A and B are shown apart, each in its own frame.
Chain A
Amino acid sequence: MIGFLIALMSLPLATAVLLMLFRASAGQNTARWMALLGTVVTLCVSVVAVAKYKEQLVGNASQPVQPRIVWRHTWLEFETEMVATDVALPDRVKLEFFLGADGVSLALIALTSLLSVSAVLISWESIKERAAEFYICLLVLQAGLIGVFCAFDLLLFYVFFEFTLIPLFFMVGLWGGAQRHYAAMKFFLYTLVGSLITLIGLAALVLTAIKAGVVTPFSIPDLSAWFADHPMGSRLQTILFLTLSAGFMVKVPLFPFHTWLPLAHVEAPTAGSVMLAGVLLKLGSYGFFRISLPIFRDACEQVGTPLIATLSVIGIVYGSFCALAQRDIKKLVAYSSVAHLGFCMLGLFALNAEGVTGSLLQMINHGLSTGALFLLVGMIYDRYHTRQLDDLGGLAKRLPMISVAMVFTTMASIGLPGLNGFVGEMLSLAGMFKLAPIYAVIGTSGVVLGAWYMLTMVQHGFFGPLKEPHDVHGPVSDMSPREACAFLPLAVMCLWIGVMPQSFIELMRPDIEAVTNLYHPPRILTSGPSLGNATHNSFVESQVQLERE
Chain B
Amino acid sequence: MSDYAQLILWLIPGAPLIAATVIALFGKLLLGGRSHVPCVAALAVAFAASLMLLVSIVPATFVESSGTGAEYIDEDGQTFVQIDSDTAVSPAKGAVATGYEWLDIGTLNLRIDLRADAIAAIMLAMVTGVSLLVAIFASGYMHGDPGYPRFFAAVSLFVFSMCMLVLAGNFLQLFIFWEAVGLCSYLLIGFWFKKPSAAAAAKKAFVINRIGDFGLITGIFLIWTTFGSTDFSKVLFDAAALARVNTEQPGMIQLICFLLFVGAMGKSAQFPLHVWLPDAMEGPTPVSALIHAATMVTAGVYLVARSTPLFVLAPQAQLFVAGIGAATALISALIALTQYDLKRVMAYSTVSQLGFMFMALGSAAAGREYATFAVMAAMFHLFTHAYFKALLFLASGSVMHSMGDVIDMRRFSGLRSVLPVTHWTFLCGALALAGFPLMAGFWSKDEILAALSNGIAHGQYKTFFTVIFGVAVLTALLTAFYTFRAYFMTFWGPEKFPEEALQPHGHGAHDDAHDHDHSHAPVVHAAASGHEMVHGDARPHDAPPPMAWPLRILAVCAVLIGFVGPAHLFGPYIENTPGLPDVTPHHMSLPLMLLSAIIASVGMGIAYQWYVKAPSIPEKLESGLRPLFKLSHGKFFFDELFTAILVAPLRVIAVCSSLFDKYILDGLVDSVGAIPRLMSQAPRRLHGGLTPAYAATMLIAVLGCVFCVMQLFAAN
Contact = CB atoms under 8 A, between A and B. Distances in A.
Interface of A: 186, 189-190, 256, 259-260, 262-263, 318, 321-322, 324-326, 352-354, 357, 394, 396-397, 407, 411, 416-418, 422-423, 426-427, 429-431, 433-434, 437, 440-441, 444-445, 447-448, 451-452, 455-456, 458-459, 462-466, 500-502, 505, 509, 512, 516
Contacts of B537: none
A444 B666 contact: no
B251 to A, nearest CB: 14
A352 B217 contact: no
A259 B665 CA distance: 7
Nearest to A338: B661
B108 A430 contact: yes
Contact of B193 (A318, A423, A462): A462
Interface of B: 100-108, 175-177, 179-180, 183, 186-187, 190, 193-196, 198-200, 202-203, 206-207, 210-211, 213-214, 217-218, 221-222, 224-225, 512, 515-516, 650-651, 653-655, 657-658, 661, 665-666, 669, 673
B106 A357 contact: yes
A271 B381 CA distance: 56
Given A434-B225, A447-B210, A465 B101 contact: no
Contacts of A260: 669
A321 B177 CA distance: 28
B661 A352 contact: no
A440 B221 contact: yes
Contacts of A322: 654, 657-658, 661
Contact of A426 (B198, B217, B225, B515): B217
B491 to A, nearest CB: 35
B456 to A, nearest CB: 37
Nearest to B150: A404
A355 to B, nearest CB: 8
Contacts of B673: 186, 189
Given A352-B106, A444-B217, 14 more contacts: A189-B673, A259-B665, A259-B669, A321-B650, A321-B654, A353-B105, A430-B221, A433-B218, A452-B203, A452-B210, A455-B202, A466-B194, A505-B105, A516-B106
A431 B224 CA distance: 11
B657 A427 contact: no
Contacts of B187: 407
Contacts of B650: 321, 324
Contacts of A466: 194, 512, 515
A451 B194 contact: no
B253 to A, nearest CB: 16
Contact of B194 (A394, A411, A422): A394
A416 B650 CA distance: 23
Contacts of B180: 416-418
Nearest to B667: A259
Nearest to B172: A426
Contacts of A353: 105-106
Contact of B103 (A352, A394, A397, A505): A505
B175 A417 contact: yes
B214 A459 contact: no
B108 A427 contact: yes
B203 A459 contact: yes
Contact of A502 (B101, B194, B217, B666): B101
Given A417-B177, A444-B214, A464 B199 contact: yes
A488 B587 CA distance: 60
Contacts of B179: 416-417, 422
B658 A448 contact: no
B175 A325 contact: no
B196 A396 contact: no
Q: Which 7 A-B pairs have the closest CB atoms?
A: A463-B199, A353-B106, A325-B658, A417-B176, A324-B654, A259-B666, A463-B193
B229 to A, nearest CB: 13
B108 A259 contact: no
Contacts of A407: 187
Given A352-B106, A430-B108, A500-B102, A463 B654 contact: no
Contacts of B217: 426, 429, 444, 447
Contacts of B207: 448, 451-452, 455
Contacts of A262: 661
B170 to A, nearest CB: 13
Nearest to A393: B196
B105 A427 contact: yes
Contacts of A452: 203, 207, 210
A325 B103 contact: no
A354 B512 contact: no
19 contacts: A189-B673, A318-B661, A325-B654, A354-B106, A357-B105, A397-B194, A417-B176, A422-B179, A426-B217, A427-B105, A437-B222, A444-B218, A451-B207, A463-B190, A463-B202, A466-B512, A501-B103, A502-B101, A512-B105
Contacts of B108: 354, 427, 430
A409 to B, nearest CB: 13
A195 to B, nearest CB: 16
A189 B672 CA distance: 11
A441 B220 CA distance: 12
B196 A430 contact: no
Given A444-B217, A464-B193, A502-B101, A459 B654 contact: no
A479 to B, nearest CB: 14
Contacts of A433: 218, 221-222, 224-225
Contacts of A437: 221-222, 225
Contact of B657 (A263, A318, A451): A318
Given A318-B657, A430-B108, A500-B102, A324 B512 contact: no
B210 A451 contact: yes
B145 to A, nearest CB: 14
Nearest to B178: A417
A262 B658 CA distance: 11
B661 A502 contact: no
Given A353-B105, A431-B106, A464 B658 contact: no
B203 A430 contact: no
Contacts of A426: 217
A324 B194 CA distance: 22
A509 B108 CA distance: 13
A465 B517 CA distance: 10
A426 B110 CA distance: 13
B199 A445 contact: no
Contacts of A357: 105-106
A256 B654 CA distance: 16
Contacts of A190: 669
Given A321-B657, A325-B657, A397-B512, A465 B194 contact: yes
B104 A502 contact: yes
B665 A256 contact: yes
Contacts of A411: 183
A378 B395 CA distance: 46
A344 B673 CA distance: 29
A456 B203 contact: yes
Given A455-B203, A462-B193, A464-B193, A505 B657 contact: no
Contacts of A434: 225
A416 B183 contact: yes
Contacts of B210: 447-448, 451-452
Contacts of A326: 658
A488 to B, nearest CB: 13
A424 to B, nearest CB: 11
A455 B204 CA distance: 9
A451 B200 CA distance: 13
Contacts of B198: 463
Contacts of A396: 193-194
Given A325-B657, A464-B194, A448 B214 contact: yes
A451 B187 CA distance: 14
Contacts of A321: 650, 653-654, 657-658
A352 B105 CA distance: 10
A163 to B, nearest CB: 23
B661 A463 contact: no
